[in-house]
Amino acid sequence: MSTVGDTLNLIHPLVAKYLRRERMPHMACPGCGIGQVVHATLLAVDELGLTPKDTVWVQGVGCSSRITYSTWVGDNIDAHHGRMFAVATGLKMSRPDMNFICFTGDGDCGAIGGNHFIHACRRNLDVTAILFNNGIYGMTGGQVAPTSPLGAVTTTTPYGNIEDPFDMCKMAVAAGASYVARWRSTDFRQIANSVKKGIQTKGLAFIEVLLQCPTNFGRYVLKTSNPQEVVKWIKQQTVSLKDAEKLSPEEKQGKILYGEFLHQTDRPGIVERYQQFLKQHRKE
Amino acid sequence: MSSGVKPGRYFVQGDEAIAEGAIAAGCRFFAGYPITPSSETSETMARRLPEVGGVCLQMEDELASIHCIGAASVAGMKALTVSSGPGISLKLEGLGWGIKNEIPYVVVDVQRAGPSNGVATRVAQGDLYTVRYGSAGGNAALIALSPKSTQEAFDLTIECFNLAEIFRCPVFLLTDETVGHTRELLVIPEESELKLVKRLKPTVPPEKFSMYPLETPEVINYPFPNIGEGYGICVSPYTHTSKGYASTAQDVQEKMAKRLVYKITAHVDMLTRVETQMMADAEYAVVAYGGDARPALAAVEMARAEGLKVGFFRPIIVWPFPDGEVLKMAEKVKKILVCELNIDGQLSREVERASHGKAEVYHFGSGGVEPHLPSQIFNELRRLFK
């Protein structure tokens, strides 16, 4: 069977360098925002000079994970649904010398894995977690997510969603992560910079990306299959932290803020804490 | 890395012996969640692992702890978690990930009275099938060892770690509150006397290595490469090809399922271990495992003193179930009394299945809380076998 690269005789240099050719084409639907985030992540990886010898990709379950799993040329450790942070904890505490770039989704991290997310932030686990927030359960066909907007019609909220969406960046800040940022899939350079900062920051880096899911979010919530329409809608819902300073509370009402919420450079992660602890208590 | 073995004679609980056994076996990663009656193992690990440079974490829940140790093992560590009834129910979710990805680690189940929370501090034996069949989706075989004493808790914990590496799978130590909380003599031998199995690393380059040997389903002692060594290992919840890529193909599912079952069922001879006593001339047999084997053996001795020709049979490796040994016994005796601390009859069902009708099998159960007394079993013996 031919791969995309063979047939088109063209392959993006970052894909050629860091992703497995035999795993292409990937599983993402046309117009999905996940590719943009992976692209930005690979740029960060490249700019930091990371390699498969020092960097592992970790996933959970859902679009975020199924699409990225086994594409990285190095090791890919994909957890059960929601257990990505628990798995990342075992990996990082066993191999503190390696970098773990973790991909999770809004259902994986905000619903079924919510407790692990909170406690990974509390422990300040030294990993870089990228949350792909498409506002819906995409892989299972468009069910309401904890991040779906109020009123959203989905396959499991045919009369509209009566619950408020979960602000997971606020949760990450409250629970104790070192670095917290939110971007849109179109903020390519900002995502790449955040991933770089995340990898270089001690403790947990939580980077949420609001991304377009034309297949399910578009279809059920916005009644469009056009990815550009979904991107436009995300842009309408969001306002940067900088711009928000100029807005009145009424103008900010219902808007989703994006930007860098927190960057604590001096807060130790669990790895540093554990290493200091071992120095005191190791006997043999 | 330091061996961590502390040779000597100790007066400790079974739960503590498990922790010492794990450390002696080379376990350097523990993640747990407090639950009676297994917490003493967690507490011992919390005290001992830092001394030997290991990692000990108390996780946010049972799920996190089993996934955490599975991942630690993927990252090269020998790893342990412990729990009991309600916690084991939760851990079964993570167990599937370990089984499917052929990850070596050890889970201890200190059985207590159930179902649900039941009686947290008191004994029962309700999890024989839970550990064997609890992981959803089937297509798996499982290894479980069951100690009857503090000494065996130590010895069998080491064996669990060895078998986990040999068979590349999670292994259960299926104990109970009686053994977990019985304080008795533990002799820890010199390090040189311990037989430990080290994790095998691939001897072939990455391009020639299959992470999952689907084409040779019965192979054991199969290497597990470490992360960051160029093998590009792929671990996932999905049905996988030999490289670890997710597949929906029927033939891949078939091969993976056969691999997970055959790697254990093809080696039942290695995995058969029973204790028998007074069976040479026995006309009747008493079968029990774990903590309930203690009053059962005492009852057999009482019966012998009265001239009843009764023998004692105890599976030490409870899964795979010792079908062959049970059949041999059934062909020899007329009646078998199976003692266990549950009312539904789990061990007795297995004994009946493996006996193929060669002997009459009787269930002598109790819902738990109190262990059986030797006199209760003896009275039942007299009633049945006179």
pLDDT tens readout for residues A33-63: 999 999 999 999 999 999 999 999 999 999 9
The residues with which B56 forms a beta bridge, in sequence order, are B30
Please say if the pLDDT value at position B2 is more than 90.
no
Q: What are the chain A neighbours of B29 within 8 Å (beta carbons)?
A: 90, 93-94
pLDDT over 90, % of chain B: 99
Q: What value does the mean pLDDT take over residues B79-95? A: 97
B133 token code pair: 């069949």
B23-36 as b/e: b if 16+ CB within 10 A: bbbbbbbbbbbebb
Residue A119 lies in domain: 26-281
Please say if the pLDDT value at position B273 is more than 60.
yes
SS3 A284: coil
The predicted pLDDT at position B130 comes to 97
The answer to whether B270 and B324 are in contact (CB under 8 A) is no
B40 token code pair: 């003493």
Q: Is A109 on the interface with B (CB under 8 A)?
A: no
Encode pLDDT of B50-59 as tens digits. Answer: 999 999 999 9
Q: What value does the mean pLDDT take over residues B176-194? A: 98
Distance from CA of B76 to the nearest CA of A (A): 7
Q: What is the mean pLDDT of chain B?
A: 97
Q: What is the bridge-based pairing of β-strands B105-113 and A238-240?
A: unpaired
Distance (Å, rounded) from C-alpha B156 to C-alpha B195? 12
Distance (Å, rounded) from C-alpha A142 to C-alpha A63? 12
- Cβ-Cβ pairs closer than 8 A, A with B, add up to 147
Distance (Å, rounded) from C-alpha B83 to C-alpha B147? 16
Residue A156, in any domain of the structure: yes
Residue A62, in any domain of the structure: yes
Distance (Å, rounded) from C-alpha A71 to C-alpha A159? 38
Query: Domain B8-193, what architecture?
Result: 3-Layer(aba) Sandwich (3.40)
Residue A255, in any domain of the structure: yes
Q: What value does the mean pLDDT take over residues B127-141? A: 96
Strands (E), chain B: 8-13, 27-32, 55-58, 78-83, 105-113, 119-123, 143-145, 170-176, 183-188, 234-235, 274-277, 284-287, 310-315, 317-319, 335-340, 360-365
Distance (Å, rounded) from C-alpha B66 to C-alpha A81? 14
Q: How many CA atoms does the CB half-sphere of B83 hold within 13 Å?
A: 28
The residues with which A59 forms a beta bridge, in sequence order, are A78, A103
- Residues with Cβ within 8 Å of B212's Cβ and at least 6 positions away in sequence, in order, are B102, B240, B241, B242, B243, B244, B256, B259
The answer to whether A129 and A206 are in contact (CB under 8 A) is yes
Domain total of chain A: 1
- Residues with Cβ within 8 Å of B249's Cβ and at least 6 positions away in sequence, in order, are none
SS3 A138: coil
Q: What value does the mean pLDDT take over residues B178-190? A: 98
Terminal-residue alpha carbon distance, chain B = 59
Residue A161, in any domain of the structure: yes
Distance (Å, rounded) from C-alpha A13 to C-alpha A27? 19
Q: What are the chain A neighbours of B212 within 8 Å (beta carbons)?
A: none
Classify domain B275-385 by CATH number.
3.40.50.920
Residue count (chain B): 386
Residue of A21, A94, A98 to mutate when probing chain B, most B C-beta within 10 A: A94
The predicted pLDDT at position A10 comes to 80
Domain coordinates of chain B in residue numbers?
8-193, 275-385
Please say if the pLDDT value at position B385 is more than 80.
no
The answer to whether B84 and B37 are in contact (CB under 8 A) is yes
User: Which of B31, B64, B228 is facing A53, going by the closest CB pair?
Assistant: B228
Q: What are the chain B neighbours of A56 within 8 Å (beta carbons)?
A: 227-228
pLDDT, block means (10 residues), chain A with 284 residues = 56 94 93 97 98 98 96 98 98 98 98 98 98 97 98 98 98 98 98 98 98 98 98 98 96 95 96 97 89
What DSSP string runs through B260-298?
HHHHHHTTTTTT--EEEES-TT-SEEEE--GGGHHHHHH
Q: Is B71 on the interface with A (CB under 8 A)?
A: yes
SS3 B363: strand
Q: What is the ipTM, given to two decimal places?
A: 0.97
The predicted pLDDT at position A1 comes to 46
Residue of B28, B45, B47, B236 to mutate when probing chain A, most A C-beta within 10 A: B236
The answer to whether B342 and B126 are in contact (CB under 8 A) is yes
Place of tokens 């939760």: B90
Residue of B207, B234, B238 to mutate when probing chain A, most A C-beta within 10 A: B234
pLDDT over 70, % of chain B: 99
Distances (CA, A) of B374 to A259, B107, B121, B129, B292: 70, 30, 21, 25, 10
The answer to whether B179 and B291 are in contact (CB under 8 A) is yes
Q: Is B171 on the interface with A (CB under 8 A)?
A: no
The answer to whether B351 and B254 are in contact (CB under 8 A) is no
Which parts of B225-373 fold into alpha helices (H)?
A: 250-265, 293-305, 323-332, 347-355
The predicted pLDDT at position A3 comes to 54
Distance (Å, rounded) from C-alpha A258 to C-alpha B100? 40
Q: How many CA atoms does the CB half-sphere of A35 hold within 13 Å?
A: 13
The predicted pLDDT at position A11 comes to 87
Encode pLDDT of B104-118 as tens digits. Answer: 999 999 999 999 999
- Report the CATH number at residue A62: 3.40.50.970
A207 token code pair: 């980077």
- Residues with Cβ within 8 Å of A224's Cβ and at least 6 positions away in sequence, in order, are A214, A218, A230
The predicted pLDDT at position B44 comes to 98
Q: Considering the entire predicted model, what is its pTM? A: 0.97
In this chain, the answer to whether the domains covering B8-193 and B275-385 adopt an identical fold is yes
Q: What are the chain B neighbours of A79 within 8 Å (beta carbons)?
A: 67, 71, 97, 237
Residue A7, in any domain of the structure: no
